[in-house]
């Protein structure tokens, strides 16, 4: 049994995350399908369909996870999508193709083990949403905490992206000095 | 009891938030330092990759979303021209590069980085280079340690770096291309040494 505040924090954060993910994919569909093609996992004939399906599914997660009665459905969908991304990244990392564009956000980012860890944390948290929650009346303090936690989690997310970017820098410097 | 616990939790969350923001700010500053170090490096040290070596292979996505592979074996030599919408000399070099690429049968690629996406899209339209791949890649720029614009990199069909350097005029670009035909590499300092270049923005 988990507290309703935890449910709110997780679902609001996941909603934010999926909205951001879907937005950049919908804004630049060509770029996304090229990023997807670089993973070399989806057959070329299916590529346009899959490239359209993924942002639509992400948008669906965003809407469904915010409503209490569709929350667990959205959580399952989110977990499935995240598992799909994580295994796609893992496969390419093990293949040694870590120089491809991750497609995680609007700007170019190479694959990193950091993303695997981050995604596993995200999968576990979407899993938590499928568990039954206790019921209690939420008070003002809960909403204040919700806002603060959202800010913390968003900052952690940005922090991970920045750290991966820094890693790219230091690696290419090492590379250029032999 | 409950009340004071709530207060403490809120206070602690606030502290965590401030700490996370601080760590994030630090990480950004480190990233910034890396960028500056890389620029300083390319001025001081002998830039790598060297002419005659295999150029680094990069798989990228162009501005209009198609995949692009730079380096490695190709049908035609690849000419990469680093430009920026904010650099006036670049405009002239874009036009020159277009005509030279056509006459010399080179695969012309434009590279740039930073700034708003919209500026680059407008630039591509304005310069009428929609038919050429245009990539936004900081990595590409760092790989060739480009600190001044417009900068050209030429690799032959086997993926070997033939020449590179600052190109300010038609003459510069011509000499850069000639080094490919003769197989005799021109060191970039020769090209660079003549004119103090337009500083990269």
Among the partner-chain residues B17, B23, B137, the one whose CB lies closest to the CB of A148 is: B17
If you average pLDDT over every residue of chain B, what do you get? Answer: 75
pLDDT at position A76: 95
| Cis amide bond preceding B159, omega within 30 | no
Contact B48 A176 (CB under 8 A): yes
Average pLDDT over residues B188-193: 44
- What's the rounded mean pLDDT across residues B14-33? 93
Q: What is the DSSP string of B123-174?
A: HHHHTT-TTS-EEE-HHHHHHTT--BSSEEEEE-TTSBEEEEEE--SHHHHH
Lowest mean pLDDT among A42-46, B20-24, B178-182: B178-182
Instruction: Please judge whether B16 and A152 are an interchain contact, meaning their C-beta atoms are less than 8 angstroms apart.
Output: yes
DSSP-based three-state secondary structure for A14 = helix
CA B40, B119, A19, A36 torsion-angle sign:
negative
CATH architecture of B58-194: 3-Layer(aba) Sandwich (3.40)
DSSP B185: P
What's the ipTM?
Answer: 0.80
A108-134, pLDDT tens digit by residue?
A: 677 888 889 999 999 999 999 998 888
Q: Write out pLDDT tens, residues B66-123.
A: 778 777 777 788 888 888 887 777 777 787 788 777 777 788 888 887 777 777 888 7
Which chain A positions have a beta carbon within 8 Å of B62's beta carbon? 34
Q: What is the pLDDT of residue B55?
A: 78
By Cβ distance, the residue of B6, B24, B35 closest to A159 is: B24
Please state the rounded mean pLDDT for residues B141-145: 76
Contact A149, A16 (CB under 8 A): no
Cα torsion angle, A74, A46, A34, A96, sign: positive
Cα three-residue angle B187-B54-B41, rounded to 5 degrees: 55
The two tokens of residue B30 are: 């480190």
Collapsing DSSP states into helix, strand and coil, what is residue A2? strand
CB distance A78 to A130 below 8 Å: no
Of B6, B10, B59, the CB nearest to A100: B59
Distance in angstroms (rounded) separating the CA atoms of residues B89 and B195 = 13
Structural domain spans, chain A:
4-176
Secondary structure class of B111 (helix, strand, coil): strand
Per-residue pLDDT tens digits for A34-89: 888 888 888 888 888 888 899 999 999 999 999 988 999 999 999 999 999 999 99
Nearest CA in chain A to B39: A173
Residues of chain B numbered 131-150 and touching chain A (CB < 8 Å): 136-139, 142-143, 145
pLDDT of residue A106: 59
Instruction: List the 34-63 stretch of B: residues with Cβ below 8 A of A.
Output: 34-35, 37-38, 41, 45, 48, 58-62
Q: Specify whether the CB–CB gap between B136 and B74 falls below 8 A.
A: no
Alpha-carbon span B90 to B201, nearest angstrom: 12
């Amino acid at each position: 049994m988990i507290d309703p505040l935890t449910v709110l924090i997780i679902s609001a954060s996941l909603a934010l995350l999926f909205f951001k993910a879907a937005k950049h994919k919908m804004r630049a569909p060509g770029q996304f399908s090229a990023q997807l093609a670089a993973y070399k996992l989806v057959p070329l004939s299916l590529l346009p369909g899959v490239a359209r399906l993924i942002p639509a599914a992400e948008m669906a997660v965003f809407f469904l996870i915010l409503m209490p009665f569709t929350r667990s459905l959205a959580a399952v969908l989110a977990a499935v999508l995240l598992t799909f991304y994580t295994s796609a990244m893992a496969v390419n990392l093990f293949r040694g193709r870590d120089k491809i564009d991750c497609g995680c956000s609007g700007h170019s980012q190479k694959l990193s083990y950091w993303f695997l860890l981050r995604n596993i944390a995200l999968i576990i948290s979407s899993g938590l949403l499928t568990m039954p929650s206790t019921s209690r009346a939420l008070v003002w303090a809960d909403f204040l905490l919700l806002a603060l936690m959202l800010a913390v989690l968003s900052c952690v997310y940005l922090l991970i992206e920045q750290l991966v970017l820094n890693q790219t820098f230091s690696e290419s410097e090492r590379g250029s000095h032999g | 009891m409950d009340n004071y616990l709530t207060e403490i939790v809120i206070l602690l969350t606030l502290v965590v938030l401030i700490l996370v923001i601080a760590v994030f700010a630090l990480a950004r500053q480190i990233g910034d330092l890396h960028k500056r170090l890389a620029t300083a490096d390319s001025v001081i040290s002998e830039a790598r990759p060297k002419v005659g070596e295999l150029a680094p292979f990069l798989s990228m996505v162009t501005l209009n979303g198609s995949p692009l592979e730079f380096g490695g074996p190709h049908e035609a030599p690849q000419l990469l021209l680093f430009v920026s919408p904010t650099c006036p000399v670049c405009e002239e070099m874009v036009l020159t590069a277009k005509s030279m690429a056509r006459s010399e049968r080179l695969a012309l690629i434009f590279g740039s980085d930073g700034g708003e996406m919209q500026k680059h899209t407008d630039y591509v339209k304005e310069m009428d280079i929609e038919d050429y791949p245009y990539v936004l890649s900081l990595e590409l720029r760092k790989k060739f340690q480009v600190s001044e614009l417009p900068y050209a990199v030429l690799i032959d069909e086997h993926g070997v770096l033939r020449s590179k350097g600052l190109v300010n005029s038609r003459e510069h670009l011509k000499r850069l291309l000639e080094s490919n035909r003769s197989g005799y590499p021109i060191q970039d300092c020769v090209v660079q040494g003549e004119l103090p270049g337009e500083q990269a923005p």
